[in-house]
Amino acid sequence: MKVLILGGVAAGTKAAAKLKREDRSAQVTLITKSADISYAGCGLPYYVGGVIEERGDLIVNTPEKYAALTGVTVYTLREAVALDSEAKTVTAKNLETGEDEVYDYDSLVIATGASASVPPVEGVELSGVFTMRTPDDAIGMRAYLEEKNVKRAVVVGGGFIGLEVAENLKDRGISVTVIDFASQLLPNVLDPEMAGYVKRHLQKNGIRVITGTKAEAILGDNQVSDVRTSAGTLPCEIVVLSAGIRPNTGFLAETGLEMFKGTILTDGGLRTNLPDIYAVGDCAMVKNRLTGAPQWSPMGSSANMEGRTLAQTLAGKEKCYPGVLGTGVVKLPGLNCGRTGLTEAAAREAGFDVETVVAVTDDKAHYYPGSDYFITKLIADKKTRRLLGAQVLGTGAVDKMTDIAVLGISMGAVLEDFDNMDFAYAPPFSTAIHPFVQAVYILENKLGGDLISMTPAEYAAGKAEGYRVIDVGQEPSIRGALHVDLGKVNGPIEGLDKEDKLLLVCNRGKRAYFLQNRLRYFGYTNTVVLEGASYFNEVRVGAPGAAVSPEEITRVKGLGFLFDKRTQDRFNARVITRNGKVTAEENRAITEAAELYGTGEIAMTSRLTVEIQGVPYDNVEPLREHLAKAGLETGGTGSKVRPVVSCKGTTCQYGLIDTFELSEEIHERFYRGYHNVMLPHKFKIAVGGCPNNCVKPDLNDLGVVGQRVPELEAENCRGCKVCQVENACPIKVAKMVDGKLVIDQAQCNHCGRCVGKCPFNALMNYTDGYRVYIGGRWGKKVAHGRYLDRVFTSKEEVLDVIEKAILLFREQGITGERFADTIDRLGFEAVQEQLLSDGLLQRKSENLSAQKHLKGGATC
């Protein structure tokens, strides 16, 4: 039996290897367009981020090793260009010689996969535009990031790969914006309310997300500078196109193969409509395991299973591929996401009588260190009570939750089948009643009428109109809501009529359910529990202008909104600028935001951050969304690196360095790159262009001052009675002593004003550099910083010292103290010694991964 396989990544190599194990006599030939086979396509984003360090780690097998291991004949750099199903031949072009080669077969397996879909927009050919499909894509992107020192990226596409790339770019300290034409992230993967939570989470973690937005053009001269979108122009140095894939089936267009939108239709045996021709992997259309309807599921997992099943079929075994569930899992910054089965919309479209629930549960014993949560959405059929789908968000093992659902759906399980499943339990791993079973119990309660609830989707659509919100949290946390202490409810609640429409909300949902149970017993007839509670939903209560709770004031302060104490609900929003430097388009966006969501007034802070004045609490999120569309963000508060401030730099007559360029680099590397790094207190950085001290670099936690160190050539001094150098020195450090010019370097501030003033060339040469001050502060307690002994002559040295200072403050500072206090406690000489050596950088990973300073000391 001659079996020809087209394609050498997942499905093709799996089919070939398994077939040779099933039937050693089979003549199996594999041809592939690439020089590589069996590469780890799903690992490419992690190579970009540096998690996978070596290119070789992406290659699962070389052609030579694979052929020796399996007995399969492998030809690389062969592109299939024609199929003659009657003659049973495939024509392929040898990409090394350019010649056509003909391969015959008894059975043909098409596993040609898919390629990145490149949107038809202007500028996709520019340097700095990448797709993410092959090892060469990832290798080229990582090299470009390093070579160009990229600081800003735009990812076009909010699917699995796009979000994984965004996370890895962010981990490299790059500012990332994700745009998607769809109205939500992960379309057809998550339901809108679950995708909405993911979007909010990404934004809180420093990744801008703009949905419902189309990329219109990529701009730049030779290399990328901006992306023009339907929501505005986004500056960037790299663009990642991750807007989907298309099957590599163009060469099959006139062959008679039955296809749909480029995918090859197959039956349960993975057969096509043509005799002895099969298709597997990303080029094949299989079926949905639940509905039987055709479904394209281009995933590495299903590709491998399809290849294996087909190999057994070709070897004569009775095998059938049952279809896919669209199972997937993705790692995001501080959040994992898993899903399987039908979405709510797909289940309704398929004709099921759908019921859903959104449940927030512990992911392990709540008292165990590192415990967190799962947000689980279950979709089931009301009549049969059959599980149809699951979507899970959380910081931990969402894959195990998803896999339980996969098993249940595949076995046709109904909800009650999960009730007493004996899942593994120990505090480090799970809860006594497994979190998946807890979610099932909540859905069973809802179906049985024991729980009357409102879904997050219903709440977002306005179904809570007319309901009075009851806060059932352990402490009051919902502005404008009536707080009820659950433990004290032993009868009717004073002030609440039993016919009132009451929406019960707690932090995660359990206390609200308990209160509903009691109130129904006491005769309350219109109580509804909000699923997902305040943990998942953005709960707003009361008329505009109502007082904001202290908890909410703290929360939105972390977003850059400072409470105006003269009001009950208004804030000043800090818009982060590049040292006060904004484009005309960004300025228009800020002005529009001030008019739409604030008082229309804009102020500049002392640190050159724009503040939009008088933003009502209810306008906080709309304002952030408006600014995000222009590539802007709010922030700059908390115990973190603060936005950088600098003087005019080279536009000042005394300027010695380009302060704008340096401050922007510091901003990108440390304000953005260290966005999630908690410190003992705030850490302010100032860049001064000269020793005139305009931005008070010595009154910041760290200051950088431009230097011009004069190089005196004493042998050229003529001992003039009137020394031009002495006259030029503004601080009178240059002096004539015994007929010779002397400059006391210990007192010289390196302003450079003396350079070139001597007519006899005694002072023509100089060295440009940077002086670094540490330990300054102003405010309640003023302290002048002290400069390090070295004058640094390269920008990279300065950036390294800044990073070391931040790392030292995080590692050795005490929560609540300023950097000046840390230096005083440790001693300046001890701190300087560490900043001038490399130990802090060597300990960086361990330092940043430590759970430290989770509650810092910054108060403004």
The 10s digit of each residue's pLDDT in 706-764 is 999 999 998 999 999 999 999 999 999 999 999 999 999 888 999 999 999 999 999 99
Provide CB contacts within 8 A for 802, sequence distance 6+: 666, 670, 685, 702, 704, 772
pLDDT over threshold 70, residue 651:
no
Same domain, 671 and 793: yes
CATH number of the CATH domain containing 691:
3.30.413.10
pLDDT, one tens digit per residue, over 109-130 is 999 999 989 989 999 999 999 9
Residue 550 has pLDDT above 80, yes or no: yes
For 574-607, how does the pLDDT look when each residue is reduced to its tens digit (9 = 90+)?
A: 998 877 778 888 899 899 999 999 999 999 887 7
- What amino acid is encoded at 220 in this protein? G
Residue 639 lies in a domain: no
- Measured CA to CA in angstroms, residue 83 lies from 130, 152, 185, 283, 301 at distances of 31, 45, 39, 16, 28
Are residues 124 and 239 located together in one domain of the fold? yes
Q: Is residue 328 part of a domain?
A: no
Model confidence at 549, in pLDDT bands (50, 70, 90)? confident
Q: 693 and 798: one domain?
A: yes
Domain contains 627: no
Please tell me the predicted confidence (pLDDT) of residue 544.
Answer: 64
Domain-terminating residue out of 222, 243, 264: 243
**Residue 337 predicted with pLDDT over 70:** yes
Q: Lay out the sheet containing 284-287: strands in order across.
A: 259-260, 263-265, 284-287, 294-295
Q: Check whether residue 41 and residue 183 sit in a common domain.
A: no
Angle (CA) 565 567 572, round 5°:
70
Domain shared by 808 and 822, yes or no = yes
Note whether 660 and 571 are same-domain residues: no
Separation CA 255–CA 270 (nearest Å)? 18
Q: Which residue has the higher pLDDT, 70 or 568?
A: 70
Whether residue 152 sits in one domain with residue 87: no
Tokens matching residue 405: 């659902």
Q: Is residue 856 part of a domain?
A: no
Structural domain of 28: 2-115+247-314
Q: How many domains does the chain have?
A: 7
Active centre residues (catalytic):
42
For residues 774-802, average pLDDT: 93
**Shared-domain flag, residues 669 and 785:** yes
With contact defined as beta carbons under 8 Å apart, do 398 and 325 qualify?
no
676 in the same domain as 599 = no
pLDDT tens, residue by residue, 124-176: 999 999 999 888 899 999 999 999 988 889 999 999 999 999 999 998 888 89
Task: Specify if 545 maps to a domain.
Answer: no
Contact call for residues 677 and 809 (beta carbons, < 8 A): no
Cβ burial, residue 86 (10 Å; 0-12/13-18/19+): exposed
Report the alpha-carbon distance of residue 423 to residue 404 in Å, rounded.
10
**Is there a domain that residue 165 lies in?**
yes
The closest alpha carbon to 547, from 452, 478, 610, belongs to 478
pLDDT at 542 over 70: no
Q: Are residues 238 and 251 in the same domain?
A: no
- Spell out the SS3 assignment of 184-253: CCCCCCCCHHHHHHHHHHHHHCCEEEEECCCEEEEECCCECCEEEECCEEEECCEEEECCCEEECCHHHC
Task: Spell out a b/e string for 200-229, using b for 16 or more CB atoms within 10 Å of the CB, else e.
Answer: ebbbbebbbbbbebebbebbbeeebbbbbb
Is 284's pLDDT higher than 80? yes
> Of 448, 469, 499, which residue constitutes the final position of a domain?
448
Is residue 648 scored above 80 in pLDDT? no
The per-residue DSSP string of 781-843 comes to: S-B--EE-SPPB-SHHHHHHHHHHHHHHHHHHPPTT--HHHHHHHH-HHHHHHHHTSSHHHHT
Q: Does residue 325 sit within a domain?
A: no
Quickly list H helices, 641-689. Answer: 659-666
Kindly state whether residue 629 falls inside one of the protein's structural domains.
Answer: no
Q: What CATH number is given to the structural domain containing 148?
A: 3.50.50.60
What's the whole-number mean pLDDT along residues 611-620? 92
pLDDT value of residue 579: 75
DSSP 122: B
Shared domain for 338 and 473, answered yes or no, is no
Higher local confidence (pLDDT), 27 or 41: 27
pLDDT, tens digit (0-9, with 9 covering 90-100), for 236-278 = 999 999 988 999 999 999 999 999 999 999 999 999 999 999 9
Q: Do 595 and 668 reside in the same domain of the chain?
A: no
